[in-house]
Amino acid sequence: MNISKLVGKESNRLESIRSAHHFKPSIRTPRMEDYLEVIYELVQRKGYAITGDICDYLNVSPPSVTKMMQRLHETEYLVYEKYKGINLTNKGTDVAQGMRQRHGILKEFFIILGVDEETAHRDAEGIEHHLEPKTLEKLENFVKTVKSSPEILRKVKK
């Protein structure tokens, strides 16, 4: 390979790294999404969410949870009244359900590849916040296609 082709490929790679770190500013961060997911799951499991449980699941301090609850309240993802409880708004519920769906698609994809379930959960959690919607759509189509064909599924799992 000649030097100009190598430099061109490296330049393209550098540009892709740059663009991955220069997303348009977003009000919603991956950390906010984690909080919304945990609150949603707690409400689904227990019927309510309290700051102590959020501290436990996210391994953060009570003041950190309080600060994030205020931020999520200000951005209209939840209704938070100190000492009264946490309720997701429709906007917050939509985000949490979307993250749950992303996680499920990624987990299924990794399991199809032969990754054990625990690792698949961890890996899905690590990247679920960073996929473009089009990429997720393609991944979901791939998972559905492979799962609908036992022959393809067997070949992929080899």
Q: What is the pLDDT of residue 150?
A: 81
Domain covering 30-93, topology: Arc Repressor Mutant, subunit A (1.10.10)
pLDDT tens per residue across span 28-57: 899 999 999 999 999 999 988 999 999 999
What's the confidence (pLDDT) of residue 70?
92
- Per-residue confidence (pLDDT) for residue 136, from 0 to 100: 92
Q: CA 144 to CA 3: how far, in whole Å?
A: 42
Structure tokens at 155: 């070949």
CB-based contact 96:45 (threshold 8 Å)? no
Outline which parts of the chain fall under CATH 1.10.10.10. Answer: 30-93
Per-10-residue mean pLDDT of the chain, 158 residues long, equals 54 73 67 95 91 94 94 93 84 95 95 93 91 92 90 77
Residues of the chain with CATH 1.10.60.10: 99-153
99-153 has which fold?
Answer: Diphtheria Toxin Repressor; domain 2 (1.10.60)
Radius of gyration of the chain (CA): 20
Residue 25: predicted pLDDT: 47
